[in-house]
Structure 1
């Protein structure tokens, strides 16, 4: 893994659950920008034959691995809920591998700049050194709650519990170099994405 900021110019895209990070990332992809999604990488690492599977098996035992060879997500979720140290153990396995795979993807990128989609970018702290700018996808908390309840079939209490595990809206906005308001009007979001794409392209070329 390379240390510090490296080429290409990098944007860290983040936002609370239900803010619409994927929608915004897809709009940047329409301009040919390479988007590197840390959640997708984490799923690949813990899929059948994923790079993290041997270490997960060694740390947590055979019970952590489903019959298909992937990490048993339900089992792991329940373990993390009952054992506060389990989350840190899993993160110690996954996070270095996620960063390694992110760097591989960035090295192969062909666009003027790259976007790392990192849901917990502000919480993790160490991404600030890796990216040139942090962009936060923002919407009112009630919009987040409604979207996640609808999308994931969760209760309001369940969504609020997830949100409480993340930094709050004010903390996230305070960390932002750029803010994308995503309150449901796609044309307004597209306009912001276009303007940021122009800005970031200029910054990347001058980098």
Structure 2
């Protein structure tokens, strides 16, 4: 039996590292961010729909989606964000369903969904793993690792679900305030438990 797992965490919480550890252990990881890029790649119906909704100024000179321009547009305007999500989310959902259907029958299938707490799909998973880190640590990581300003980091955190909202949906919490070894131990224990249910 396939075990369906939702994986989420705030920006710079360490979710990508957790996702990589789960994949190393044998989980089939379906990355919603990666799919969100694929469904609006140049030449796709998804990109055409975004251009139709927001205009050609969301394209780069070579016809790709201008992520920075779109990001600036939707982070400042909740209505624009909803309109963008209405295009992208169904396309991502369809692709993730196709990938899950291709997984082995007894797999642990991990859906890596940054905005899981926001999109209301928690009930469709057997377990929800939340990677947790305090906001101050998230800000520090974005400033140090990504070169963002403190204001950019704080506004990105503010645009996501709160830490409390994410923790409220968790069946498993990964505390990412320690070392990589600490993180790996927690994730491997959770994987072993989930694999035992498959």
Q: Deviations over 1:81-134 (max 9, x none)?
A: 554422111111001001001101111123621000111101111x11321111
2:195 is matched with which residue? 201
* Distance in 2 (alpha carbons) for counterparts of 1:53 and 1:104: 20
Closer/same/farther in 2, CA of residues 84 and 194 from structure 1, 3 Å limit: closer
Give the TM-score normalised by structure 2. Answer: 0.92
1:113 is matched with which residue? 108
* Distance in 2 (alpha carbons) for counterparts of 1:184 and 1:45: 36
Identify unmatched segments of 5+ residues in structure 1: 1-6
* Distance in 2 (alpha carbons) for counterparts of 1:82 and 1:19: 23
Closer/same/farther in 2, CA of residues 82 and 113 from structure 1, 3 Å limit: closer
Q: Is the 8 A contact 1:8 1:106 kept in 2?
A: no
41, 52, 59: which one aligns with 1:47? 41
* Distance in 2 (alpha carbons) for counterparts of 1:183 and 1:147: 11
Closer/same/farther in 2, CA of residues 76 and 178 from structure 1, 3 Å limit: same
Count of aligned positions = 197
Counterparts of 1:120-135 in structure 2 under 5 Å? 120-125=115-120, 127-135=121-129
CA drift at 1:169:
1.3
CA drift at 1:158:
1.6
159, 162, 178: which one aligns with 2:153? 159
CA drift at 1:162:
1.1
Q: Is the 8 A contact 1:133 1:177 kept in 2?
A: yes
**Mean Cα deviation higher: 163-172 or 96-105:** 163-172
| Secondary structure in 2 matching 1:30 | helix
* Distance in 2 (alpha carbons) for counterparts of 1:84 and 1:30: 37
**Mean Cα deviation higher: 69-78 or 168-177:** 69-78
* Distance in 2 (alpha carbons) for counterparts of 1:64 and 1:156: 26
Identify unmatched segments of 5+ residues in structure 2: none
1:28 is matched with which residue? 22
Q: CA RMSD in A?
A: 1.7
**Mean Cα deviation higher: 32-41 or 72-81:** 72-81
* Distance in 2 (alpha carbons) for counterparts of 1:158 and 1:67: 26
* Distance in 2 (alpha carbons) for counterparts of 1:166 and 1:95: 16
Q: Is the 8 A contact 2:122 2:169 kept in 1?
A: no
1:3 is matched with which residue? none
Give the TM-score normalised by structure 1. Answer: 0.88
